[in-house]
Structure formats: C-alpha cells, structure tokens
Amino acid sequence: MSWFRIALRSIQQRGVASLLTMLSMALGVTLVVAVLSIDGVLAESFRNNASLGYNIIVGAKGGQEQLVLNTVFFLSRPIENVPYTYYLEFLKQPERDRLQRDSYAARGAEVWRETAELQALTGNLGLSGAALDAVAAPIEQSLVPDMTLPRHPPVELKGRHGKYGQMTELAIPLCLGDFYGTFRVVGTTPALFDDLVYDIERNRKFEFAQGRNFVWRSPQHGYFEAVLGAKVASDIQLVELHLNVAGNAAARALVTERANWSRIDERDGALVVALGQGTEESDVFLSLRRLQKDAEEGKRQLDDEQQQALTALLDPGVVLRRSQRNVTLGDAIAPAHGEPGGHLHQRKFTVVGILKPSGTPNDRAVFINMEGFYLMEDHAKPVARPKPEEAAEGPPLSESEQRAQMAEDRRRQQEVERAADPEPLPAELREVTAILLKVDVMFAPGIENYINEGQQAQAALPVAVITRLFEFFVGPLKRVLLLLTVMICVVSAISILVSIYNSMSERRGEIAVMRALGAGRGTVMGIILLEATLLALGGGVLGWLLGHAGVLIASPWIEEHTSVHVGFLTWTTLPTEMLLIPGLIVLAIVVGVWPAISAYQTDVAKSLGK
Amino acid sequence: MLQLRQVKKSYAEPDGGRLPILDIPLWEVKDGEQMVLVGKSGCGKTTLLHTIAGITRADSGEISIDGINIARLSEAGVDRVRANKLGYVFQTFNLLAGFTALENVLLGMTFGGGRRDPKRARHLLERVGLAHRTHHRPTALSVGEQQRVAVARALANRPSLLLADEPTANIDPRNQQKIVDLIRETCREENVALIIVTHAPEVAGQFSRVDKLEEINLVRADAPPLEK
C-alpha cells in the first residue's frame, strides 16, 4: 500500500464530504481559469490590436486617445482631417510626384507651361489680348473645367522627397466617416493589404479568404472596389427578392433605378434583386408606387413598355419568393454618409475581396479605394474658389449668389458621383483622416516630436496609447477579479482544512492503528498532507476542466465580440495556469499542516483502545 | 527472542504523583514460543504489551527484541522495529474501515520499508480461510472474519513476535477456539513467538506456558502511588 493509495482510500471513505470539498475547490479554480482566460483573451485581443505593423499614427490636432481609438479600433469619431498634401510629405519623390499629377497645381503648371508655349507660338503668329484668350481658354477648360487655376508653376511641390519621405518605410492614408450598416467604411490605398505586415512577429499580412485586394483603378470597376472584413462578410445579411419579371428589361431598369440594390441578376426564371444593406422589401415597393403616382400626376413620363413593367412590378404576386444571404464577392455596396443610417451615397462599390479573420478591428470594417472615396458626394474638401480677377475688387458675393454657387458645386459633385468613369479628385480637394506610418524605431520619437511641434497635425504612438488605455481600464478590473478568485481558492482551501480537521477525531483510531503497524509520526503526517493535496489537486483539475469547458462554450460569443479565437486551451494563459499546480500544492500543504500536526501528535496508546 | 530487564513503567497522576504500573525485574520469551499472559483487570497487561511494542515507552529498563534494545532507540527506530519485528492483534480488531481485507493486510507490510508483497497477503488471507473475501470491506465481514483478517495483517510483515491482546474477547464462543487455533497454527508455521493476553481460562488452558502478570510484576494491583 503506497501513501497515495492510503490517502485516496481515506478520501473515498468520506465520499460526500470529500466531494463537496473538492467541488468547493473546483469552483475557485474554475473562476481563476475564467479570469485568466478573460485576461488571456483581452491580452490576445490587445496583442492583435497592438501588433499593428505601423508605429505612428498621424492625424488632426486633438486628443491622442481619440486619434488612436478612431484609427485603430474604428471607435469614436474622427477628430478632423489633415490635408492630402500633408500626407504627401511622408512619401518618397517618385510616389509623391505621381500622386501630385492630379493636383490643380500640377494641372495649372501644365496650363501655364502650355500657355507660355502658346504665347510664344501666338506671339510668333502675332496673336495677343482677346485673341490669345480665345485660344487659351478652351485649353484651360479642357484641363480643369471647374476651377480657376493658379497661373504660376508650383515648382516647390515637385522634384523632391516629402519632408519625412526618406525616414518613412510605409505611409498608408485612411479616410473615415462613412458606414456600411454599423461597420466603418475606410478609404485607403491598396498598400494596406499589399504592403503592411500587421503581425511582424509572425510576418503576417492581411490575407484574403475570397477574391483579391482592390486596385488603384480596375478596368472593370474603375476606382470603385471594396474589400470586406471577415466579420462584415459573416454578419451582413442581404434580402433577395425573386421577382416574376424575368426577361423584362424595362422592369429591370425600373428596379435598378428605384431600389437600393446590391446585385440584380436573373436566375431560376426570376429577376433576383439582392437589396442593399438595411433596405427592406417595403422600401422598394414604396418607391415604385411613388413612381406610379408621379407618372399619374405627370411629374414623370413613362412610355408604354415602362408603364407595363411598372404594373407588373406592382402586381401582388410579383414576389415569387424571398431569401437571405451574406454579402459576397460581386455585390455592390453603397456607403452611408457620416453615420450608420446616414443618407446613402449613390456611388456603389463592388466587393472584390473578403479578408480572412485576423483578430484585429479590421475584421469589422469595409475597405474601399481611397480614389473612389474622394469621388463620393460630400467627400471633396470645400475650398474657397479664387475670385476671377475682374471681380476681386468688387463687392463681396451676396447670400443668394453664395447659395447659387454652393448649389452649383453640389450639382457638379452629383455629376461626378453619377459619372461612369470620373477623373480622380484633385489633390487640393482631398483630405485624409489619419496616416499610418511605419518608420524606423530610431526615428519614431523624433518624427513624433517634430510633427507634434508643428501646427498642422499630431502624431501618436499607438502601442503606447493602447497600453495606457488597457492598463487604465482593464488592469484594475483584472486585479480585483484575480484577488476575488484567489480569495475563493483560499476559502476553498479552508474548507479542506475544516473537512480534514473534522474527520480527525474519527480518524485518530485509524492513525493509531497505522502507528501500531509501524508507521512513524512523519508518515502519518505525510499521509494527511497528501490527502489535503489530493483534495486540492482533484478539485483543481475538476475546476480547470470546468473552467476551460466554460470558455469553450463561450468561445463563439468571445470570437464574435473580440475576434479572438479561443479553443479548449487558451495557450496564452497556459503558463500562468501551470502555476496553479504548485500554488494549489502549497495551499493544500498550508491548510493540511494543522490536521497533519494533530495526526503527528496522536497518542497511540489512548487512541488504540484495546 | 524477547527479554525484559528491570522494566519500570508508571503513569502521571492528576495530583502530580506517579502511579506505578510495571516493575519487571526479568521476563523472557523464547523464539517461536507460545505463551499466555493472564492477570486481573487493570493489572497492566495491555500496558506491558504496549511497552513491548514501543507504543508506550518504559520509564527505565531494557526491552530486547531479537537482541535489539528498543529502550535505547529513537522513536523512529522503535517504529522501524515495530514495523519489522512485531505483529499486533487487537481485541477490537482495528481494521481500517475504508480498506478491503487485502488492503488491510497489505497495510501491515507498508511501513516496514520492505517489499509490499500482494502474493503473500493473498496467501495469508487464504491461510485464514478468507480467499474469497479479499476485496470485501470490514463492514461486509463477520466479526470472526474481521479478526482473521487482523491475524493475517499481524503476520504480514513476517514478525518475530506476535502480541495478541484478548483476541477472542469479542468473538462468540463457537469461533473463539477457531481463532485461537488459527493464531497458534499460523505462528507455528511462520516460527513466530506468541504472547496472548486473555481472561478466558479455556484459552489459557491450552498453553503449556501461562504467566500471571502479578507473578512477574513487582507492582501489585493495589500498590499505593509512589511519593512525589
């Protein structure tokens, strides 16, 4: 008989009491495991979020926390924007030059050059004054029809690196402000997925589960491509209406015009309309009825074919069936401006890629081409138009003139938004919400200081800010929870003490018999301590299993809310959990010592009886 | 095998005095010898057995078991001698309730430092007629069966001396003789010296050597306490 067997038998003998004692310990350990797992999940989530692949965020002046929360976690609201030209200061010369090609300044310089050439030519031809303007004006208009151009070459913009260009390994601009459902829409460049290694430790870039990254300009979709985060793709459900108007081109055209759709195609003998996110069937038919009313009132002219199509669409039996599906590749998405539920942009972006889950906030965002972002309504920076020279000294514009100018601006923007393949927005009208910078760690503090000392923007070191926020909010909570669970373990340990100690009076006889059979005092003491340890470890193992089973059961919820995948074992917490074993042994020995000493002191002769 | 020389034992009294129990100038038991110790109730028979087993330490004198004077040994040394040289059968059997018959016998081998030998434990249980009851707990055994397990346990560590303290006192008359026979036979087979304490004349009558404690102990049962 080994000591282990003797201790085990003793535990078995007091079955119910032992079980209750173990359950009490199990409860304590379950809570410890739960707290450690929560901490592990938070730490993993934090690690994922802090492992950004960039080390500085540049944004408008304001609070650093807000900048980081908004840029990294897509929480809170953007502070303000910084000019696009400021972003260009982080680029090296070739890239900077390339992106400036679409600026008014560049176009103006081009006009200036061409005008100068023209002047030289027309001078030779004897043209001047009104005759010269008559030749030059159409050239200007063809280049930039909507703005008055500066008439000098902006030489300082060209032919150099950006101010921070040579210290910057990677600069990725972000434009925020729109939503798709409740998810943030982020205008950015393809570099976010092509070049950014977000998990440096494991050399991981964002990967695509389906499709591909958007490109600067695709032959198929122009500037209007989108990539969905994994969570967006799994969460957004689109309603599909199967309409009994297959082959009816006029009906298809009316639906295309009147409904907010994600995709319209014909299959299974029906016109299948996948409605845009948040759009309901009733919205479509309400819009069609309004069209009918407009037609009846003469506000809208419909030809016979259209009228028949409309009648067919408003037929009560037009909807053959309804279904739901996830948003997927090829769907068109229309961002909502400013806030969830804001007015929908007319411009739609085609989903070309869906990201694999990364455990980062990017799982919960929609990424669109920044060039397309700028071409949406209300996304151009309002700039003061230079007055024509002849009006410069005249009276200021009246209120009605200003309104007319704004209306004209708006009309032009809508035209741009409706245009099939518009030109990129000039650089002067662009802004960025934030710039993600990857710079050499040696330069990071210097660049941060330099930017912060300037007037235009602020720089934040996101890891430092996130660590600060994490410690501020989660640190105390974690400590309190751990303290509570440790207290529960101590209480459980005391219950082991009580259980064993209470059994001592009835066990004195047994101890005396063992002593009479030759067991030393140390032996009986050891057996009692072993018994306490077995109770603690048994309860500990049970609690550990229960704790992890609980985590496993909660894992879908955890994954949904944190994008952190947890299985039965949370590897990040395993080293800490391993400390539970020596911890429980020490605890068991501490509480076992008292009854063990009592066993040690047992008077054999008295306790033996006869 | 066993020799007691000038062994004295007394107990402290509440008033600070000491109550003498044993004062044995010389007492011996030979190898393999079987004897009975009788005496009036309270005359110190159990104290003598406890003293021989080292459960109670003598105040003075020598107690030699197989030539080892346990009076000079540390407590751990006495424990070792008890584990290796002695077997003990109690009047109340003192089997451990949570253990099976086999485990109770194995317990007798646990503390001697020698090899735990389940084969011998089974053999002993077979020898005492309990081959079919090895995995039964004491509560599932009859009184006679319990005492037989106790005998097997006492012999498990191949002792030189078996001490049996009124082993038949709690057993019905029909089984008393069986137990006595069993103890005597197994001791003979294992060449173990045997000291049985008993009040039963019919048991005592079967032994060639019957020692009265009053005759070997200078302390009389009615002796006055020693002076402070």
What pLDDT is stored for residue A571 in this prediction?
Answer: 61
Round to whole Å and give the CA distance between A348 and A361.
23
Closest-CA residue of chain B to A9: B98
Cα A91 to the center of its chain, rounded Å: 25
Mean pLDDT per block of 10 residues along chain A (610 residues) reads 85 86 86 80 68 87 89 82 90 84 71 71 67 64 50 53 88 93 94 89 88 92 94 93 93 91 92 91 92 91 92 93 93 89 86 90 93 86 53 62 72 68 82 92 88 92 85 81 81 81 82 89 90 88 89 80 69 74 84 86 78
Query: If you search the block for the tokens 């038991």, which residue do you land on?
Result: B29
Q: Which residues pair with A245 in a beta bridge?
A: none
Set of chain B residues whose Cβ sits within 8 Å of the Cβ of A607: none
Cβ contact A316:A287 at 8 Å: no
Give the gap in angstroms from C-alpha B118 to the nearest C-alpha of chain A: 9
Round to whole Å and give the CA distance between A376 and A369.
11
Round to whole Å and give the CA distance between A436 and A196.
10
Round to whole Å and give the CA distance between A527 and A599.
9
- Give the single-character DSSP code of A269: T
| C-alpha dihedral, A442 to A447 to A450 to A455, nearest 10° | -170
Cβ contact B144:B128 at 8 Å: no
Contact: A517, B91; criterion CB under 8 Å: no
Tokens read off for A157? 């913009």
pTM score: 0.61
Q: What parts of chain B have a pLDDT lower than 50?
A: 227-228
What pLDDT is stored for residue A442 in this prediction?
Answer: 85
Contact: A13, B50; criterion CB under 8 Å: no
Closest-CA residue of chain A to B75: A520
User: What residues of chain B have any CB closer than 8 angstroms to a CB in chain A?
Assistant: 46, 50, 53, 55-56, 75-76, 79-80, 82-84, 86, 88, 90-92, 94, 96-99, 103, 106-112, 116, 153, 157, 165-166, 169
Closest-CA residue of chain A to B74: A520
Contact: B109, A1; criterion CB under 8 Å: yes
- Give the single-character DSSP code of A362: G
What pLDDT is stored for residue A139 in this prediction?
Answer: 60
Closest-CA residue of chain A to B163: A516
Chain A residues 246-305 with a CB less than 8 Å from chain B: none
What pLDDT is stored for residue B214 in this prediction?
Answer: 85
Q: Which residues contact A328 (CB under 8 A, 6 or more apart)?
A: A210, A233, A351, A354
Chains A, B: CB contacts within 8 A come to 86
Stated length of chain A: 610
What pLDDT is stored for residue B30 in this prediction?
Answer: 92
ipTM of this complex prediction, to 2 decimal places: 0.90
Residue A364: CA count within 13 A, CB half-sphere? 18
Set of chain B residues whose Cβ sits within 8 Å of the Cβ of A2: 110
- The residue among A83, A79, A86 whose CA lies nearest residue A63 is A79
Contact: B79, A518; criterion CB under 8 Å: yes
State the best of B79, B102, B116, B151 to mutate against chain A, taking most chain A CBs within 10 Å: B79
Q: Which residues pair with A270 in a beta bridge?
A: A267
Round to whole Å and give the CA distance between A56 and A71.
11
Chain A residues 504-533 with a CB less than 8 Å from chain B: 509-510, 512-523
With H, G, I as helix, E, B as strand and everything else as coil, classify residue B102.
Answer: helix
Chain A residues 477-506 with a CB less than 8 Å from chain B: none
